[in-house]
Structure 1
């Protein structure tokens, strides 16, 4: 059973169409797509109503916690993929032009409405000025908002084959905010950042249903919603740090723990930094790759959720482990012996080594 967000019901329609077309339609009867608001989702999670075997929720931290409580009340397993405040770290030896392109893609993809989007960048002071100048130039020249043209062609040809459904060249990098209230959230984060000492270098305000691509700079790490709370918009805060160690400390100073990105010429050192990140996934010298490959586990920790999708871990998360132990027949006499202290101590020593009284 799949319940899609009421903010994007067309996703559910497309999902149903794809299932009908996949495998000759054999998958369609196995999946039911539901539409509706929170009451529909609550009914599906309710063990007395929806009777789920396992619940997977993708969404906000606040709603995810409600889902977890409802699942626990019914003794149902739960996988949560919640919000993120994903940080990118740009080390002193990073390839700055490459890092700029990757970070910009991570920050402005889908108008920043992506759980693994880059929401903070901590840049080593040695390359900070170069990175900021290159990012501002890149955003002004290459990042824009607007509507994407409709697909070219479509339908079928006279022979019954699918026609040309390739989209025309997009005239914008990203589109609208999915829900209007998000524009208010983004603006509040920008205004609070400026009050906390940030400088707006590009954008900084809404334009109708769009929010401008916005680059903020901070002279040092600080506490403000733009650095602490998920923004979910085309906002890129860039923070100067003294070292990679300082960047790790600042990146970990949040309740979230979904993803992180590290840019460095020394991939071995990048791997060591990655293992210090309090996140479920880390990508070195790129963005998003851990969420694109179905063979690797994906998920977060702390407020960003529990459990994994993808990979062996993701498949096992939907199963229940059962342990079966078989003893030889006719063990009644053995149970009588187990009542003695000496027999219990001997068993402990056999199981755990040198047990002492």
Structure 2
């Protein structure tokens, strides 16, 4: 017997959606349909697969207003910012479509008389995409588009906080005319998801979520010889060098820390500033933070919405309170943000100084609107502190010296290094991580590699 679930809006605590988890019969039917459709879909010419996926993206872009309202209602991002997710979705999808021919082309080694030899990328089969709520379209499209274009069928299990996002994807691919079974959505309980992972129903898993969730996925797959891409947590650092444009760094790092209420795997959670510009940077960072307007995300003038749920906000409140008790100084007066109230999802942005790495707020993922700022004496100290983390998704260096940034970047243990920007995914570059941030690659031509297998052709002519 299937279970029911509901979605509570972060803005006001009202229930906005009632859903039902798939029962075993529905799961079996979806898996069978995906398997049945895969042979025909993989034999569909690449140009036709690309055209149908492009049509689905066209549909989503045309429904940008519905998407924006869905994002704001289900996870609390301000309505003035939610349309940006559609722009990001389109950028990534169009790029992955544009590079598909190159990424999936045969690899031909040097000619050898009497032989025809080449390597061909073939689809894996059925790909299970497990997407989170925080960037519900962007995170999902990273795997969905290349998986389908490469000739795989896709099962999308979206977060139970954002089931309407899954339904919008389903509507888009139905409108694009994908054959039955090529793309399907499943609302699954945790228990049924684990059972599914233990079976031979899927041939690859693309998971975005917490470290704990990634560990559960990897454990469930441990007895199977299939791949998985795990994009997990982050505690992303920034380093502001002595020669940085302080005003520009502060402006961009405030946005990197507090956009989406800090609920971003690549959001800025800790900042190291050269001691010669530390005071000026902190003052400017606090000034800009004070300009945020925390409130109901459906209001046009709100630029900082609630966190996804009150328990998430309470977790961050606990980190802040603990750090202050250990000697940190909070620079933002919460009273300046009257919407911020204990027991609710509304939380004022907070800037902490006098912090150190013994504090949870500097070593444990916050996933909320708080950032710690520390002074450093030189590049070496900055690199040491940036690497002093169990995570490694992105890091940013703020400087006018590109050569110095490149030299430092080589020493930083992370998946992506930025100079003078942060909190952004370039679809031409591989999105990956190290340490507890997980493994695997999405985006770029390499993103197609993990969604295909290589077959070698060796013909004596």
Q: Is 2:125 the partner of 1:125?
A: no
User: How many aligned positions are there?
Assistant: 301
Aligned twin of 2:315: 185
Using a 3 Å threshold, how does the CA distance of structure 1 residues 148 and 55 change in structure 2: closer, same or farther? Answer: same
CA shift at 1:176, angstroms? 1.6
Which residue does the alignment assign to 1:301?
434
Q: Does 2:340 correspond to 1:200? A: no
Given the alignment, which residue of 160, 163, 174 partners 1:6?
A: 160
Q: 1:212 aligns with which of 348, 353, 370?
A: 348
Higher relative contact order (CA 8 A, sep 6+): 2
Higher strand share: 2
TM-score (norm. length: structure 1) = 0.79
Does residue 257 of structure 1 match 2:392?
Answer: yes
Q: 2:182 aligns with which of 10, 13, 30?
A: 30
Q: Structure 1 residue 20: deviation in Å? A: 3.3
Contact preservation (8 Å) 2:357, 2:363: no
Pair 285,204 (structure 1): closer, same or farther in 2 beyond 3 Å: same
Contact 1:203 1:215 in 2 (8 A): no
What SS class does the counterpart of residue 313 from structure 1 fall into? helix
Task: Report the Cα distance in structure 2 between the residues aligned to 1:183 and 1:103, rounded to whole angstroms.
Answer: 21
CA shift, 1:326, in A, is 6.3
Correspondence for 1:228 among 359, 363, 366: 363
In the alignment, is the contact (CA less than 8 A) between 1:177 and 1:210 conserved in 2?
yes
Query: Which residue, 231, 244, 252 being the options, matches 1:81?
Result: 231
**What RMSD, in angstroms, separates the aligned Cα atoms of the two structures?**
2.0
Distance in structure 2 (CA, Å) of the matches to 1:204 and 1:237: 16
TM-score normalised by the chain length of structure 2: 0.62
- Asked whether the 8 Å contact 1:252–1:278 carries over to 2, the reply is yes
Write the distance in 2 (CA, Å) between the matches of 1:42 and 1:66.
8
1:202 alignment partner, SS class: coil
Q: Per the alignment, do residues 66 and 196 of structure 1 end up closer, same or farther by CA in structure 2, a change over 3 Å counting?
A: same
Structure 1, unmatched stretches of 5+, are 151-169, 329-357
Contact 2:329 2:353 in 1 (8 A): yes
Structure 1 residue aligned with 2:295: 146
Q: What's the offset of the Cα at 1:145?
A: 1.8
Residue 298 of structure 1 deviates from its aligned partner by 0.2
Partner of 2:245: 95
Give CA deviations for 1:132-160 in whole Å, capped at 9, x if unaligned: 0001111112x22222337xxxxxxxxxx
Q: By how many angstroms is 1:113 displaced?
A: 0.5
